[in-house]
Amino acid sequence: MIISANFKANHTRKSVASYFTQLSDFIATKETKSEIIVFPPFTTLPETKPKGFKAGAQNGYPAEKGAYTGEICLDQLTDCGVDTILVGHSERRHVLKESQEFIARKFEFFKRHNFTILYCVGEPIEIRQKGIESVMAYIEKQFEGIDTSYTNLVLAYEPVWAIGTGLSATVDDIEEVHMSLRKGLECPILYGGSVNLANCKEILQSPSVDGVLIGGFSLQVEDFCKVIAIAEEIV
């Protein structure tokens, strides 16, 4: 099971330091078997010392270094000990307007550098309303230029309409998409989109789900640890 947390632009160096200490203690005390990955903001990466779990980058520019004002490249990420990255998150696609072509370039670059890539796909509400065939056709396009046989690939199905809305997909919705994705893929498939304490058990119990990517509900370490504890009962 992979239990991951995406802080987005939340938390500061101080709060992440205390979060990481508590999370490490929890993992050590419970001897958890799940793989835990946290994606904190860039500014917190140099100082955070994850123990028993990984800290990954929420983004990265596909270059080793250079004239890319405002971006973080490979040199800066490896300097922080990072070897895991989120690519294709819906907020990068829809809010920051990243194209599939650029996302694929990013994927290729970080693949070449052996990063574990947590690659996100998912449909907006207007596509979901058209039914499962439209959903799968939409997701198919998000695989353009993506090497789905990459060894260090983790896929996250995150319907856009479920992200940050409090409206999670139902287990039936998730299973339908995951089973369809599973046909051509060997990698773990996570679900993300309004995962919380009330729905995580049912979601994690689905044989089609290998873990979760949690945004809002991961922000309090106590909540995130509760989800990990539930995952531990299932593995």
Scan residues 175-204 and list those touching ligand PGA (CB under 6 A): 192-195
Q: Rounded to the nearest whole angstrom, what is the least distance from the CB of residue 163 to ligand PGA in the complex?
A: 4
- Residues paired with residue 223 on neighbouring β-strands, in sequence order: none
Q: Which is nearer to ligand PGA, 74 or 159 (CB)?
A: 159
Catalytic residue among 89, 91, 98, 123: 89
- Does position 154 bind ligand PGA by CB under 6 A? no
Q: Name the one range near ligand PGA by CB under 6 A: 20-28, 48-56, 73-81, 211-219.
A: 211-219
158 is catalytic: yes
The smaller minimum CB distance to ligand PGA, of residues 52 and 164, is found at 164
**214 forms part of the interface with ligand PGA (CB under 6 A):** yes
Residues 35-74 close enough to bind ligand PGA by CB under 6 A: none
Closer CB to ligand PGA, 74 or 204, in the complex: 204
Is the distance from CB of 218 to CB of 20 less than 8 angstroms? no
Least Å from the CB of residue 168 to ligand PGA: 8
DSSP-assigned letters across all residues of 40-64: --GGGTTT---SSSEE-BS---SSS
Quick one: CA dihedral 111, 4, 89, 67, positive or negative? negative
Residues contacting 115, CB < 8 A, separation 6+: 83, 84, 85, 152
Q: Which residues have C-beta within 8 Å of that of residue 53, sequence separation ≥ 6?
A: 23, 24, 27, 35, 36, 37, 38
Q: From the CB of 7, what's the least distance to ligand PGA, in Å?
A: 10
Instruction: Taking the CA atoms of 214, 218, 224 and 227 in sequence, report the sign of the dihedral they define.
Output: negative
Binding mask 118-147 for ligand PGA (x = CB under 6 A): ------------------------------
Task: Spot the catalytic one: 98, 158, 175, 178.
Answer: 158
Active site residue 178: no
- Site size toward ligand PGA (CB under 6 A) is 13
Which residues are CB-contacts of 155 (< 8 A; sequence separation ≥ 6)?
118, 119, 120, 121, 148, 181, 185, 187, 188, 189, 190
CB count, 10 Å around CB of 75? 12
Whichever of 4 and 180 has its CB closer to ligand PGA, that residue is 4
Residues marked as catalytic: 89, 158
